[in-house]
Amino acid sequence: MLHWCSRMEADSQISSKKYAADISSIKEAQKCISSYVHKTLVLSSETLNSFCGRMLYFKCECFQKGGAFKFRGACNAIFSLDDTQAGKGVVTHSSGNHAAALALAAKIRGIPAYVVVPKNAPKCKVENVKRYGGQIIWSEASMQSREEITTKVLQETGGVMIHSYNDRRIISGQGTISLELLEQVPQIDTIVVPVSGGGLISGVAIAAKSINPSIRILAAEPKGANDAAQSKAAGEIVKLPETKTIADGLRAFLGELTWPVVRDLVDDIIVVEDNEIIEAMRHCYEILKVAVEPSGAIGLAAVLSDSFRNNPAWKDCKHIGIIVSGGNVDLGLLWDSLNKAEP
């Protein structure tokens, strides 16, 4: 266990950098959402441990309400609103799990959720939004269309905008994962986290490094959407002209609130191919017996990749927490992908 002074020092170091969230806002988020969210299981597998010669601990956010970690941030954002703000409802644009999470959290509070959804969003995730009572407004697939329609909805409703990742309340809510995980498995020395817009990894990194300054935070990213890796290399936010990956939840770009955290607190980014993600999904199904979407399987794909296993920098990563971020998978897409991956 860390000496108390070490924890205070870590808290001070992270707070002094003035990130969008800090350990205090994350602990407040935990108090705010504790009666609404699931404290998710941590699973392990001797078989998967043997594949990589490490101890792996899977934090199963696929078992969270709404089927993904996004409910934590959405819940914190919605229950942080005062009654006047909440009364007009909340607004967002999302192609996936954030849309459903916000709809569910709004339903629990009894307020409207207006969700701008691009026409190419995965069917299973759209169905979740409908199931939770979200009011869907369709847009074209482009970010320009999504943002323009969202602006119009905000003007018409007077609702509160809840961005899917570039929001202090969202980042703080996602950070509660670290508080749970490091309580459940204190010996963890490394956490592997999917990265997209950066809300999840920002919250996880801030909380984990505040608790244990020496812990390693590694991001996992698909090669077809490797803007975070390119951003780290360039020292500034890089946005790609297009993304192409089976991991539909990992196509967003870093925001101005999440980039500084990724820049400063994420130790490295492991980029994997889609076929590696598909193989990791197969392992999750066949060995862990857990339904995982591509974005949720990418952490395992990263740990099993040659670029991680053969990198001497990570030889001391012995106890690895893997954030299984979600389980909302389009089964038709999954079967097609698995069949294509057959030798």
Q: Return the DSSP state at 255.
A: -
How many angstroms separate the CA atoms of 264 and 244, rounded?
27
Over 198-244, what HEC string results? CHHHHHHHHHHHHHCCCCEEEEEEEHHHCHHHHHHHHCCCCCCCCCC
Q: Which residues does the annotation mark as catalytic?
A: 70, 95
How many angstroms separate the CA atoms of 222 and 220, rounded?
7
- Residue 310 buriedness (CB in 10 A; 0-12 / 13-18 / 19+): exposed
What would the DSSP string read from start to end of 96-121?
Answer: SHHHHHHHHHHHHHT--EEEEEETTS
How many angstroms separate the CA atoms of 215 and 193, rounded?
13
